[in-house]
Structure 1
């Protein structure tokens, strides 16, 4: 049921959206909110656990400290929303629009974020353990110090994302797009990077122990620690020179196979140091 005070202000159509600025700390758990327009609303600290907000308009809304645990926010518009320290554990956010949203220190453990749009979102210090971010758009997102242990980021777009100090232990990054991503000090132990595109990424101080680099594309990857690289699994099956993606075989093919083999041999002969993969 929609709470009575919301039914009184219900509108139909986008031409007459209502903005609420005094809904903070309300108890709306388990509500089915037929009213969908909460743009710029102040819902700070509100209890919305298990609420059905599918397709809701929450653009620019203040949801700081709100409890959205197990809430259904599928296809909701949360662009520019303030979600600092919000509880979104197990929330359904598939295909949600979170462009530019602030999710700093938010709890998104086990959240479902498949195909969500998080371009430019702030996720610094966010808890995303076991979250499903498959095919999500995290381009230029700030994930500094975020916890992504065991998260599913397969096929995700992380171009130019800031992952400094992020915990990606055992994360699924199969065919993830990490072009020019900043991974300085990131923890990638046990992560699966099969077929991932890391071209131009900065891996200074990144931990790769036990990570799976089978078919990963490392052309122009910068500041790679040799010992860390060689502690990864299948590093000799990674691609280090300019290549093309074969969509049929879903793998990278070096334009010059001999040059790639020469680069692998060069790494094989190194015992320590920092290396950039900038050769053609």
Structure 2
């Protein structure tokens, strides 16, 4: 009986994998057909076909559940290789396909080359971007909770309004990045490069390993929030619960030349 059940479970597992592989293959084939028939990658491509492509992408990502780390990575690389999500002249509106609200949770995107991509409002919860190159990409309002950016190239990336709760930014290169109003609560900043990073209105409450010297290399660090606050979604800004306490924290940092903000180290990350 036990052996029979194990064989049955293994058969179901194989059948499910084959089914998932078929879903992915059908998606790629249908997208290739749209690319050829409606010139999706061209500036004058068919807009209705692009809407169909977006719908297909949203749908297939919800259906890929058995091996999301690999399958979702294949889809994003396909969209990059076909130049559907890249934009021109610093205008993200020129991208051919918008991925807002697409579900790339837990995708393994380590080492991916993904420069100048429109990733606005994409769900990357728990994804891995270890050593990835996202230089110049736009991730406004993206959900990046617990996302791993270890040693990632995030230069000139627009992360304004994104949710980076407990994200790992260890050794990430954030030079000239935009973190305006971003939620960075409990994010790990160990050895992150914050040179000229815009921290205006960024929520840094209980940030980990945030070196004071590194923090001061950023722009508008004095306008960041270091104490408890709530996000006003209508005004799209953080409302500090205790303004005096936050001002005190800013003053302490201003008068310090070394150390860790709040004294919170990686061991508690």
Superposition TM-score, scaled by structure 2 size: 0.70
Indicate whether 1:239 and 2:231 are aligned: no
In the TM superposition, what is the alpha-carbon distance from 1:90 to its structure 2 partner?
4.7
Of residues 74, 83, 89 in structure 1, which corresponds to 2:54? 74
> Which residue of structure 1 aligns with residue 204 of structure 2?
218
In the TM superposition, what is the alpha-carbon distance from 1:258 to its structure 2 partner?
0.4
Verify the 8 A CA contact 1:129 1:148 in the aligned structure 2: yes
Aligned partner of residue 246 in structure 2, secondary structure:
helix
In the TM superposition, what is the alpha-carbon distance from 1:226 to its structure 2 partner?
1.1
Output one character per residue of 1:84-139: Cα deviation in whole Å (capped at 9) or x when no partner: 9955335447xxxxxxxxxxxxxxx9974332210111110011101111000000
Number of aligned positions between the proteins: 214
Question: In structure 2, what is the Cα distance between the partners aligned to 1:85 and 1:141?
Answer: 12
In the TM superposition, what is the alpha-carbon distance from 1:40 to its structure 2 partner?
5.7
In the TM superposition, what is the alpha-carbon distance from 1:41 to its structure 2 partner?
4.1
Question: In structure 2, what is the Cα distance between the partners aligned to 1:225 and 1:212?
Answer: 16
Question: In structure 2, what is the Cα distance between the partners aligned to 1:83 and 1:132?
Answer: 17
Output one character per residue of 1:225-278: Cα deviation in whole Å (capped at 9) or x when no partner: 111100100000000000011122211111000000000001001112223376
The structure whose RCO (Cα within 8 Å, separation 6+) is larger is 2
Indicate whether 1:183 and 2:169 are aligned: yes
Verify the 8 A CA contact 1:180 1:200 in the aligned structure 2: yes
Indicate whether 1:271 and 2:257 are aligned: yes
In the TM superposition, what is the alpha-carbon distance from 1:51 to its structure 2 partner?
3.4
Of residues 83, 88, 111 in structure 1, which corresponds to 2:74? 83
Output one character per residue of 1:154-202: Cα deviation in whole Å (capped at 9) or x when no partner: 0000000011111110000111000000110011110011100000100
> Which residue of structure 2 aligns with residue 39 of structure 1?
23
Verify the 8 A CA contact 1:90 1:111 in the aligned structure 2: no
Question: In structure 2, what is the Cα distance between the partners aligned to 1:181 and 1:215?
Answer: 18
Structure 2: state its 5+ residue gaps. Answer: 1-17, 43-48, 86-94, 265-269
Aligned partner of residue 239 in structure 2, secondary structure:
strand
**CA distance 1:176–1:277, change in 2 (3 Å):** farther
Question: In structure 2, what is the Cα distance between the partners aligned to 1:130 and 1:201?
Answer: 24
Question: In structure 1, what is the Cα distance between the partners aligned to 2:132 and 2:207?
Answer: 22
Q: Which one is further off, 226-235 or 113-122? A: 113-122
Counterparts of 1:121-270 in structure 2 under 5 Å? Answer: 121-270=107-256
Question: In structure 1, what is the Cα distance between the partners aligned to 2:76 and 2:230?
Answer: 41
**CA distance 1:230–1:133, change in 2 (3 Å):** same
Counterparts of 1:16-27 in structure 2 under 5 Å? Answer: none
Question: In structure 1, what is the Cα distance between the partners aligned to 2:41 and 2:152?
Answer: 23
Question: In structure 2, what is the Cα distance between the partners aligned to 1:145 and 1:252?
Answer: 31
Verify the 8 A CA contact 2:54 2:97 in the aligned structure 1: no
Question: In structure 2, what is the Cα distance between the partners aligned to 1:175 and 1:223?
Answer: 22
